[in-house]
Amino acid sequence: MQSVDILGVNVSVVNPRLAVEQVLAWVQSGWRGYVCVAPVSTLVDCQRVPGYREVINRAGMVTPDGMPVAWLLKARGAQGTARTYGPDLMRLVCDQGRGQGLKHFLFGATAQTLEVLKENLQRQYTDMRIVGAVSPPLMIEAGKADDVLIEGINASGADIVWVGLGSPKQDFWMYHNRPYLKAPVLVGIGAAFDFIAGVKPQAPRWMQQAGLEWLFRLCCEPKRLWKRYLVGNSLFVYYVMKDFLHARS
């Protein structure tokens, strides 16, 4: 896919409609790859976590999950780009995939969250086919999964595996397990499971569009997210300014 280099990360020039069309086309063609969502925190982690940039850049699609990322794409001439937010992408694929009879596998979150998530999805998208759901151990490794899990996912006949382990773990997990999974598409979906299940509140749409979702989430979970947003966002501004000044010089 066409992409733009943002801090060394190849972010795809997409919007929600194009992203959904591409995922559905990949499933139909049997193409095997994975999709990463890229908020600001992912771009920052790619500067600091060894090997992470390569993992992201090997994805078939890297969506601009955060508004600042989408703004940067537009500033660099990528017209038609729009924020392609993980929860929205999941909802749209689940909805439009019903026409193809897509089979979905859910991997991540707690067992309780998965039960509510399945109920909510199947209530909202009648006839949606969920062929499996696994809640992994809290401290699951990001490397190759055990053979029992791999065999279970493959036996389900899933077309899409939704991976909700949080970044960067979910991206490393997809990278390491892509060769062993038969499902055409793996999608790392971040906190989408929690949002769609309703176990965590989502920022109002106006805050999302204004690029203030990080503030809403920080207020909801300050102990867990303060470092990601207060430190991470400051680093993002620093990296962008450094990149800009380097380009000008």
pLDDT in tens, 10-45: 999 999 999 999 999 999 999 999 999 999 999 999
Q: How many CB atoms lie within 10 A of CB 169?
A: 16
pLDDT category of residue 190 using cuts at 50, 70 and 90: confident
pLDDT category of residue 95 using cuts at 50, 70 and 90: very high
pLDDT category of residue 140 using cuts at 50, 70 and 90: confident
- Tokens 């499933």 correspond to what residue? 27
Residue 138 pLDDT > 80, yes or no? no
Give the CA distances from residue 222 to residues 49, 89, 109, 215, 228, in Å, rounded to whole numbers and listed in that order.
23, 26, 20, 10, 10
Q: What is the pLDDT of residue 246?
A: 80
pLDDT (mean) for 99-111 = 96
Residue 139 pLDDT > 80, yes or no? no
Residue 249 pLDDT > 80, yes or no? no
pLDDT category of residue 141 using cuts at 50, 70 and 90: confident
pLDDT (mean) for 185-192 = 95
pLDDT (mean) for 217-234 = 92
Q: What is the pLDDT of residue 58?
A: 98
Q: How far apart are CA 156 and CA 152, in angstroms?
A: 6
* Percentage of the chain exceeding pLDDT 90: 92
Residue 147 pLDDT > 90, yes or no? yes
- Tokens 């503030």 correspond to what residue? 215
pLDDT (mean) for 95-118 = 96
Q: Parallel, antiparallel, or unpaired for β 33-38 and 103-108?
A: unpaired
pLDDT category of residue 142 using cuts at 50, 70 and 90: confident
pLDDT category of residue 173 using cuts at 50, 70 and 90: very high
Q: What is the pLDDT of residue 137?
A: 86
Residue 90 pLDDT > 90, yes or no? yes
Contacts of 222 (CB under 8 A, 6+ apart): none
pLDDT category of residue 247 using cuts at 50, 70 and 90: confident
Residue 145 contacts residue 175 (beta carbons within 8 Å): no
> DSSP for the chain?
--EEEETTEEEE---HHHHHHHHHHHHHHT--EEEEEE-HHHHHHHHHSTTHHHHHHTSSEEEE-SHHHHHHHHHTT-TT-----HHHHHHHHHHHGGGGT-EEEEEES-HHHHHHHHHHHHHHSTT-EEEEEE---TT--SSPPPHHHHHHHHHHT-SEEEEES-TTHHHHHHHHHGGG--SSEEEE-TTHHHHHHTSSPPPPHHHHHTT-HHHHHHHHSHHHHHIIIIIHHHHHHHHHHHHHHHHH-
pTM value surpassing 0.85: yes
Q: How far apart are CA 194 and CA 199, in angstroms?
A: 5
Q: What is the pLDDT of residue 132?
A: 97
Domain residue extents for the chain: 3-202
